[in-house]
Amino acid sequence: MLRGDNNLTDRDYIEIIKTRLSEKRFIHSLEVAKAARRIAPKYGSDENKAYTAGILHDILKDTPREEMLALAAEFDIIFSDVEKAEQKLWHAIIGAVYAEKKLFVGDRDIILAIRYHTTARAGMSPLEKTLYIADFISADRDYPGVEEMREAAKGEPHDAMTTALKFTVSDIIEKGSALHPDTVYAYNELVLGR
């Protein structure tokens, strides 16, 4: 069992995620951590926090559905209708609480970055934006449009977030999935210039 203190290091977190993730997802998490640390100064966030958030952001991504539901019950998480329908969001929602309660991550900004790395939200902190973009541009990514996204990430954070959310919204609509209200609020905040 993990120690009941706040003295876990990034090295400890890496060893923990290695046991929970497939090799592909493990490599992805390390690449996101590196990307987050690299872009953190431009996004106004702390490089060390960005690296930690990157390591932990997908900690529950490969967790079986039954275990996810058991953790959600243990943590008293109640899903919205959209969250119930879109299981791919669960790893962020439950993972944030898991990081706080099981890994003793005490930094609220890291917890929120993990929580909103899939949906985004209005009023995102610099660290939340850093992780959101890093997840799009990590070296292991090869989706259509990744080079455009990497170029956008080199520019202003506002523009990168707008590009990323446009991609997210159109991808969700194209797949016929439900749009999370947080994604809509994040996008509207950006285009309305608040």
pLDDT one-digit tens code per residue, 164-185: 999 999 999 999 999 999 999 9
Q: What's the pLDDT at 160?
A: 97
Q: Supply the pTM of this predicted model.
A: 0.94
In the block, residue with structure tokens 């080079």: 147
pLDDT one-digit tens code per residue, 71-86: 999 999 999 999 999 9
Question: Contact at 8 Å (CB) between 182 and 122?
Answer: yes
In the block, residue with structure tokens 């969700």: 172
pLDDT one-digit tens code per residue, 110-157: 999 999 999 999 999 999 999 999 999 999 999 999 999 999 999 999
Q: What's the pLDDT at 194?
A: 58
Phi, psi of 93 (to 5 degrees): -65, -50
Q: Which helix (H) or strand (E) holds 25?
A: helix 23-43
Q: What's the pLDDT at 7?
A: 81
Q: What's the pLDDT at 3?
A: 36
In the block, residue with structure tokens 């090799």: 23
CA dihedral 102, 105, 110, 114 (to 10 degrees): -10
pLDDT one-digit tens code per residue, 23-81: 999 999 999 999 999 999 999 999 999 999 999 999 999 999 999 999 999 999 999 99
Residue 193 clears pLDDT 60, i.e. is over it: yes
Selected from 3.30.300.30, 1.10.3210.10, 1.10.1660.10, 3.50.50.60, the CATH number assigned to the domain covering 10-191 reads: 1.10.3210.10
3-state class of 133 per DSSP?
Answer: helix
Which runs of E-coded beta strand occur in the chain?
none
